Structure 1
Amino acid sequence: MCPCWVTALYNIVSTQHISSSQQINKMIQKLCDRVASSTLLEDRRDAVRALKSLSKVQMLSETSFSLSSDSSDSEIIGYTLDTLYNIISNDEEEEQDENSQKQGDDLGVQFTEIYIKDSENVTLLLTLLEEFDFHVRWPGVKLLTALLKNQCAQVQGIILVSPMGVSRLMDLLADSREVIRNDGLLLLQQLTKGNAAIQKIVAFENAFERLLDIITEEGTSDGGIVVEDCLLLLLNLLKNNSSNQNFFKEGSYIQRMRPWFEVGDDNSGWSAQKVTNLHLMLQLVRVLVSPVNSPGATSSCQKSMYQCGLLQQLCTILMATGVPADILTETINTVSEVIRGSQVNQDYFASVNAPSNPPRPAIVVLLMSMVNERQPFVLRCAVLYCFQCFLYKNQKGQGEIVATLLPSTIDANSISAGQLLCGGLFSADSLSNWCAAVALAHALQDNPTQKEQLLRVQLATSLGNPPVSLLQQCTNILSQVTHHLLLNVGKSMLS
């Protein structure tokens, strides 16, 4: 039987001319002749092995050969797959300048087009991946990954219509050899990019169970790059795929995410890999409760996250010390979407206290960061988003915030949310002004009762002067700003 997946190699190398020395071209032609005509199997093996070596340093050109008699020889198959991979991937170990890299990438795409022109090449490559022989399976995985990188949509289409095509690739995750399993993860990442149909098949082939098992075995957030690859694949499967999201929730996989966020008391010296892993884990939570999902699906996931303790674990990270700034920021954004529009989750968040002496509500601690001009911009914006989500469709929460502005509820010995918002509203820092104003607006949104209550708020502007209403003070400031703007415009016109 003639292996047409091998014949494709000869089609590739015979259609692209790359200028090279005459000596190398002659050597390549001799090797090709040996492969095509030698009667000894060992001679053919040696020839293919030599061609594989040459493919790393020299694009094969103007050649044509056939291995019609060696379809069952795993060594020749392995060398041929390696040769194809070297040509298609242009995976150079040495540094390349930008132009050389671009040229190599373009050639890789061209060679891929030639290879997949006959879809049977890809189909038979999928068949080869069923071989347990390491020297066949591993180069086959690498070659298929390279094909997907270069021509993703076209190769996805071929695999999708190939009988059991996706199932064969899922078997790679069960391979006991870590290098094949790990490269299988990279292959599945490429395979699932932007293709909802393949994403669904992969999910129903027990992908969630296998990936979560690998993440646990590798040490969850303390694990290495394999954990990162699993998380990236999970993101591919779940993002913008409502069917897979529902399957993930119904399979009780949300509950298995909770241990990921048990970071412990000592949060010093986080490795870069741990930060990356935890960041991706937080992104996965956000994918499940994203505001762009259907309201019913989001609400169901929010409920599960509260019931299994995942929300509580996130709030622990929120109030912990020593957490890296970017993880803290992403945790705030994640908690925001877990509580958004969920009364039970919003009530829980309102009850969370920071481990300080005396204890302070988490909302107050976050608002202190929002109106502090020394805090990073992204962190302050994340707190504002969290405050908005806490008040979204939450009339009870809106009333509690506005109440902290009213005279009868003010405790002179403690810092309240209302005091912080008023302080930010009239701060010399313009970002604090904006954040506090937006936050107050959300305390009033779609709530006529709290709008009336806010009119009762009185402010002491300076010692010895009578208090003025919050509305009056805002009007005074706007009037002053408008006056200064008009003066500056007048001066610019006169000049």
Structure 2
Amino acid sequence: IQKLCDRVASSTLLDDRRDAVRALKSLSKKYRLEVGIQAMPHLIHVLQTDRSDSEIIGYALDTLYNIISNDSEEEEQEENSQKQPEDLGSQFTEIFIKQHENVTLLLSYLEEFDFHVRWPGVKLLTVLLKQQGPQVQQIILVSPMGVSRLMDLLADSREVIRNDGVLLLQQLTRSNAAIQKIVAFENAFERACIHGVIHFSVVGHLLHHPLKITILIVSSIRNSGPVEVAKYQKCGNECIVVEDCLLLLQNLLKNNNSNQNFFKEGSYIQRMKQWFEVGDDSAGWSAQKVANLHLMLQLVRVLVSPTNPPGATSSCQKAMFQCGLLHQLCSVLMATGVPADILTETINTVSEVIRGCQVNQDYFASVNAPSNPPRPAIVVLLLSMVNERQPFVLRCAVLYCFQCFLYKNQKGQAEIVSTLLPSTIDATGNSVSAGQLLCGGLFSTDSLSNWCAAVALAHALQENAVLKEQLLRVQLATSLGNPPVSLLQQCTNILSQGSKVQTRVGLLMLLCTWLSNCPIAVTNFLHNPSNIPFLTGQIAENLGEEEQLVQGLCALLLGISIYYNDNSLENCKKEQLKQLIEKRIGKENFIEKLGFISKHEFYSRAAQKPQPSFSSADHMMFDHEFTKLVKELEGVITKAVYKSSEEDKKDEEVKKTLEQHDNIVTHYKNVIRVQDQELEELKKQVESLRVQNEHLQTTVTQQVSQIQQHKDQYNLLKVQLGKDNQHQSSHSDVAQMNGVQPEEISKLHEEIEDWKQKLDQLQEQLREKDSLIETLKLSPVSGETTEQASQTNKPSGPETDSEFHKHVEALKSQIQLQSTDITKLQTEKQELLQKLSVTPVSVSGDNGTMVGKTADLEGRLATLLQETQELKNELAALSEERTSLKQQLDSSNSTIAILQNEKSKLQQEVAESKKEQDDLLVLLADQDQKIVALKNKLKELGEPVEDEDDLDAGDQGDEEEEEEEEEEEV
């Protein structure tokens, strides 16, 4: 090795140096330590100086990889391999990255397209990240375009480099939020959507259906030959590259809110639905397929994890419901033939998708199992939870699913409790309800079923005082011939029978949850005279370490019975129970036993996360929500036990006073809220009336414009009628001046008859023209009113009448021509023109025509007058309606003014009540100061005064100050 190193360092010929590096590579696997110590500086020098020769660079990179890598499988394949220290690779990595220029030099070699340079460089950088991840990540992060160079590896046309590039990015993005953001915004998500043919673009395997390997096939057609296409068609979703990409995607999204938001806004959640279209796969479930689907489910959980910010989790949950992903997950949940571990992870995934989301919880409640008859999915899952033959992890998953279904879901809680109430139980017994399954598990012989059922029932009561009271109505028939007992009594009976520790812990957690913040339940519990002696006996005994947990829970239950006691039972008042503790247990001993709970190892594990995760069934002791309850009550119970009766009375008085003031303030707040709502409604009505008034004003303006137009039409027709009358009178005068001779009457009659026939023909034509004019006139006139209502400036009646008169004048001109011919005949026979016998006939014909025209005009005039009268009536009605609207508006304004005055009065009353409350608190403070002064005087006079009372008085003063601060905040 030393000779080879000398050749690398001193040889001037490139071939000699290349052969020496090749020899070092062959020895590097078997003699890692020797080659690493002696050859590493020379290999780094080769990388710096011989960049032009890709072959020697490839050998140098491979040698460094063999030195740094701790691949045990390759070492075992060597027959005479020596045992190497486990941290040898880490030590060599530390030496290599001590000079940051070495990592930068390695990044530059990743830009080389030569396969013999790029591939060894990718492997070497991957192993460096495995050995010293944070240090190498920091170097890459500060290197110019460092992350971008690594992302370019995914665009390589060679499959090996693409796949190893994914592995490199896995190591690079591990536990580094800054690099995760850079990788995500380097189009790590977008490439798979836009360039769907590139299956190696980080998540290209993921964002399309893994079971349908379209991306892989298309990519292979583009970049590979037919052999690789067949290989991808065979591997499908069982390809290990899919697993690598899923792991990379998990690194990018886990605990990274920015990337999660980017993933959601990019609509990638909608594409995840296709992952779970499992269908009927006759080929079965291979190990790789199970691993891939398991990672896909975990990826969904990353987006809706309870540790994420509530807003981000809620938005992802809603998106999963809207795109149908939740429906698809429920289909996998209810499918047959699904492996147990996949089913368990699916249950956990559905749990977190519905946790705290009311819409998703309602949908899950409506899901039915494909059975005959169909049964709710919740019932089917609970059957698995209380069945001791089911796997332990599956039962834990079902419990977690039930807890998530009830989390912040009062509707679901009420539905579960209602299945236990007497009025809703199915009398036929044909169907099993969720409540019946929980009661069955609660009283079964399997301790794990007891614990799971107790915790599940406790979650149905979580933060719901109404259901705690309703559950007191549940009656159980324990055996034939015996009267039914309440569920509360049956729990205490089983507890006193000395069952297994796990069963007693579950029942005690249920009772503590049930009695907390429910005085009625506490009264029912204390009504049984055997409960308190049992608890004090359990706490007072000196038992083994296993029983300490039970003792602590008994102390907690007894403390809850004191703290939430309303003193309604004469024999079990607060003071009497505290005296009992002091006599039989001792206050210090009681507090010590109470502290056993929070000091227990299982308590610490359960408090970490909501999901139950235990190595074995024996370790299932505490529930996550119960740990919150213990943390909340431990301090207040300790104070309640140490308080004296006088302090309790003072606290009760102050509490009642504060409650009264709070009730008054709440009442006035409700009144003000209602008045605000009424005020808003009145404002909306006023706004609506204002808009309606404006609309009516616009309508009135349009109607006035229409009336004016009709008036103009009326005046025009009236003028035309006057002209026609003048024309008629002139014809009469002319007729009186003309005369005809009696001798020519017969000839003139004959000619007149001829002309009459012609005139009749012309009049017939005139009637046809009039009918045509009337037809044309009716169509514009019918549309005229509508057009005038919307456009006041549109021309109407006068133009139509002018056209009509043009036609009439044309016909009159024809008649005038005929009259001219008649006049010519009369001129030739002057002797006959002096006779006036013909004149009446002519005048009668002209008068008949004019009379018809006059009648027509008078009819049209009457119609216009009638329309004008109707418009006047409508205008008067609109004016009256406008007046009434103004009156309503004035009335609304007066009502608003009255409500505002009432609101100001109420606010003044609230201020006065708060002032009275402050005065009361000042009075209480003065009284405490007087008490302290009197005690000091007693001490000066030599009277014995206990220091504990002084301490309690100080504590009382602190509590009063805290209450005063809370009151000021209110």
- TM class by shorter chain equals 0.7 to 0.9
Task: Say which is worse superposed, 446-455 or 284-293, in terms of deviation.
Answer: 446-455
- 217 and 357 in structure 1: CA distance in 2 versus 1, 3 angstrom threshold: closer
Please tell me whether the aligned partners of residues 89 and 146 of structure 1 are also in contact (alpha carbons under 8 angstroms): yes
Q: Which residue of 2 aligns with 1:334?
A: 349
Q: Which residue of 1 aligns with 2:55?
A: 75
CA distance in 2, matches of 1:263, 1:154: 42
Letter in 1 for 2:472: L
Equivalent positions of 1:166-185 (< 5 A) are 166-185=147-166
Q: Which residue of 2 aligns with 1:376?
A: 391
- 400 and 102 in structure 1: CA distance in 2 versus 1, 3 angstrom threshold: farther
Q: Which runs of 5+ in 1 are unaligned?
A: 1-24
1:52 paired with 2:69, answer no
Q: Which residue of 1 aligns with 2:455?
A: 438
Larger-Rg structure: 2
CA RMSD of aligned residues (A): 2.6
Q: Which residue of 1 aligns with 2:438?
A: 421
Please tell me whether the aligned partners of residues 218 and 226 of structure 1 are also in contact (alpha carbons under 8 angstroms): no
Equivalent positions of 1:313-328 (< 5 A) are 313-328=328-343
2:115 to 127, 134, 142: 134
- Residue deviations 1:438-487 (CA, integer Å, cap 9, x gap): 11111111112212221221212212323222222223222333999979
CA distance in 2, matches of 1:227, 1:460: 56
Task: Say which is worse superposed, 341-350 or 323-332, in terms of deviation.
Answer: 323-332
Please tell me whether the aligned partners of residues 166 and 202 of structure 2 are also in contact (alpha carbons under 8 angstroms): no
1:239 paired with 2:258, answer no
1:300 paired with 2:315, answer yes
Letter in 1 for 2:135: Q
CA distance in 2, matches of 1:128, 1:122: 10
Residue 234 of structure 1: how far off its partner (Å)? 1.1
Residue 425 of structure 1: how far off its partner (Å)? 1.2
Please tell me whether the aligned partners of residues 267 and 321 of structure 1 are also in contact (alpha carbons under 8 angstroms): no
Q: Which residue of 1 aligns with 2:205?
A: 214
Residue 33 of structure 1: how far off its partner (Å)? 3.8
DSSP-derived class of the 1:263 partner: coil
TM-score of the pair, normalised by structure 2: 0.46
Letter in 1 for 2:5: C
CA distance in 1, matches of 2:13, 2:541: 96
- Residue deviations 1:300-327 (CA, integer Å, cap 9, x gap): 0000111111111111111111111111
1:461 paired with 2:452, answer no
1:87 to 64, 67, 91: 67
2:7 to 3, 12, 34: 34
DSSP-derived class of the 1:291 partner: coil
2:175 to 194, 198, 202: 194
CA distance in 2, matches of 1:52, 1:262: 48
CA distance in 2, matches of 1:38, 1:490: 86
- Residue deviations 1:318-361 (CA, integer Å, cap 9, x gap): 11111111111111111111000000000000000000000000
Q: Which residue of 1 aligns with 2:404?
A: 389
CA distance in 2, matches of 1:74, 1:41: 12
DSSP-derived class of the 1:473 partner: helix
- Residue deviations 1:4-41 (CA, integer Å, cap 9, x gap): xxxxxxxxxxxxxxxxxxxxx4xx41x33433444443
- Residue deviations 1:383-415 (CA, integer Å, cap 9, x gap): 111111101111111111111112222222111
Q: Which runs of 5+ in 2 are unaligned?
A: 191-200, 213-235, 500-529, 545-970
Task: Say which is worse superposed, 82-91 or 332-341, in terms of deviation.
Answer: 82-91
CA distance in 2, matches of 1:256, 1:382: 26
- Residue deviations 1:236-265 (CA, integer Å, cap 9, x gap): 111111111111111111112111111113
DSSP-derived class of the 1:293 partner: coil
- 450 and 41 in structure 1: CA distance in 2 versus 1, 3 angstrom threshold: same
Letter in 2 for 1:172: L
Identity level (%) = 81
CA distance in 2, matches of 1:413, 1:35: 87
1:151 paired with 2:132, answer yes
1:475 to 485, 492, 501: 492
CA distance in 2, matches of 1:256, 1:446: 37
- 101 and 238 in structure 1: CA distance in 2 versus 1, 3 angstrom threshold: farther
Residue 217 of structure 1: how far off its partner (Å)? 7.8
Please tell me whether the aligned partners of residues 30 and 75 of structure 2 are also in contact (alpha carbons under 8 angstroms): no
Please tell me whether the aligned partners of residues 458 and 470 of structure 1 are also in contact (alpha carbons under 8 angstroms): yes
Q: Which residue of 2 aligns with 1:111?
A: 92
DSSP-derived class of the 2:203 partner: helix
- 54 and 235 in structure 1: CA distance in 2 versus 1, 3 angstrom threshold: same
- 91 and 425 in structure 1: CA distance in 2 versus 1, 3 angstrom threshold: closer
CA distance in 1, matches of 2:49, 2:385: 72
CA distance in 1, matches of 2:255, 2:542: 54
- 312 and 218 in structure 1: CA distance in 2 versus 1, 3 angstrom threshold: closer
Residue 227 of structure 1: how far off its partner (Å)? 0.8
Please tell me whether the aligned partners of residues 459 and 468 of structure 1 are also in contact (alpha carbons under 8 angstroms): yes
- Residue deviations 1:43-98 (CA, integer Å, cap 9, x gap): 3322222222122222325456454752211111111111111111144624289x
Task: Say which is worse superposed, 224-233 or 356-365, in terms of deviation.
Answer: 224-233
1:285 to 300, 315, 326: 300
CA distance in 1, matches of 2:9, 2:203: 48
Task: Say which is worse superposed, 262-271 or 426-435, in terms of deviation.
Answer: 262-271
Please tell me whether the aligned partners of residues 107 and 146 of structure 2 are also in contact (alpha carbons under 8 angstroms): yes
Please tell me whether the aligned partners of residues 210 and 275 of structure 2 are also in contact (alpha carbons under 8 angstroms): no
Task: Say which is worse superposed, 424-433 or 66-75, in terms of deviation.
Answer: 66-75
CA distance in 2, matches of 1:264, 1:125: 47
CA distance in 2, matches of 1:248, 1:176: 27
- Residue deviations 1:346-382 (CA, integer Å, cap 9, x gap): 0000000000000000000000011111111111111
- 263 and 475 in structure 1: CA distance in 2 versus 1, 3 angstrom threshold: same
Residue 433 of structure 1: how far off its partner (Å)? 1.2
- 217 and 104 in structure 1: CA distance in 2 versus 1, 3 angstrom threshold: farther
CA distance in 2, matches of 1:195, 1:56: 32
1:262 paired with 2:255, answer no
Letter in 2 for 1:259: Q
- 138 and 219 in structure 1: CA distance in 2 versus 1, 3 angstrom threshold: farther
Q: Which residue of 2 aligns with 1:356?
A: 371
- 80 and 268 in structure 1: CA distance in 2 versus 1, 3 angstrom threshold: closer
Q: Which residue of 2 aligns with 1:160?
A: 141
Please tell me whether the aligned partners of residues 419 and 433 of structure 2 are also in contact (alpha carbons under 8 angstroms): yes
- 283 and 491 in structure 1: CA distance in 2 versus 1, 3 angstrom threshold: closer
Please tell me whether the aligned partners of residues 238 and 286 of structure 2 are also in contact (alpha carbons under 8 angstroms): no
CA distance in 2, matches of 1:218, 1:393: 35
Q: Which residue of 1 aligns with 2:106?
A: 125
Letter in 1 for 2:489: Q
Residue 490 of structure 1: how far off its partner (Å)? 9.4
Please tell me whether the aligned partners of residues 341 and 394 of structure 1 are also in contact (alpha carbons under 8 angstroms): yes
Residue 222 of structure 1: how far off its partner (Å)? 2.4
Residue 159 of structure 1: how far off its partner (Å)? 0.2
TM-score of the pair, normalised by structure 1: 0.88
Letter in 2 for 1:113: E
DSSP-derived class of the 2:189 partner: helix
CA distance in 2, matches of 1:168, 1:260: 30
